[in-house]
């Protein structure tokens, strides 16, 4: 089951599934600051994309700060590019985590639009081993995407889909989506 809404001319959707099998111009990876792979979504994306993506990261980037993003080709994924976005480790909410998480989503969209992408697939950045509470992360993620789309109405990005790994993550994002829709009425 999926949920959708529209921000300007862009459709924003939520769906359950495996982001490594999702077809989009850009697949966003929940990366770490070292850009050297890891577990969870990061490990799954690197495994599915193949070793060329890591080779490009090693050759092109020394790392990426929290809240930032970098772009590579997509290797064996059904995408043109991977945007590696670095979200924050949860430290209780008082260390700027919300701003850093919103920045990671915005930076990813900046790179996707700059590359000419019309479709972008996001995971739930920072919600795995980084420990960001699902409900808070969902609210920040959806708010950041809506804000970015409002600020960039002619970006060329037509579809943004959150491809969420499990029912609990999908439920948290659906609830945040519904709360945002209510606020806009």
- Residues labelled as active-site residues: 42
Q: How far apart are CA 59 and CA 73, in angstroms?
A: 13
Helix, coil or strand: residue 91: coil
Within 10 A of 50 (CB to CB), how many other CB atoms are there?
13
Quickly list H helices, 61-166.
97-115, 134-151
Q: How far apart are CA 169 and CA 167, in angstroms?
A: 5
CB 145 within 8 A of CB 120: no
Number of residues in the chain: 185
């Amino acid at each position: 089951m999926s949920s959708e809404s529209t921000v300007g001319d862009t459709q924003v959707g939520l769906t359950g599934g495996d982001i490594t099998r999702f077809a989009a111009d850009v697949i966003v990876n929940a990366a770490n600051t070292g850009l050297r792979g890891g577990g969870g979504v990061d490990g799954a994306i690197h495994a599915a994309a193949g070793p060329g993506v890591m080779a490009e990261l090693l050759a092109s980037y020394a790392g990426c700060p929290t809240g930032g993003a970098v772009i590579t080709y997509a290797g064996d994924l059904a995408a043109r590019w991977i945007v590696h976005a670095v979200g924050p480790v949860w430290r209780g909410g008082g260390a700027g985590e919300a701003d850093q998480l919103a920045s990671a989503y915005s930076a990813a969209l900046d790179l996707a639009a700059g590359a000419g992408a019309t479709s972008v697939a996001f995971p739930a950045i920072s919600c795995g081993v980084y420990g960001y509470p699902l409900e808070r992360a969902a609210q920040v993620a959806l708010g950041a995407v809506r804000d970015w789309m409002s600020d960039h109405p002619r970006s060329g990005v037509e579809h943004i889909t959150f491809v969420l790994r499990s029912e609990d993550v999908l439920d948290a994002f659906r609830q945040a989506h519904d709360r945002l829709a209510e606020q806009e009425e």
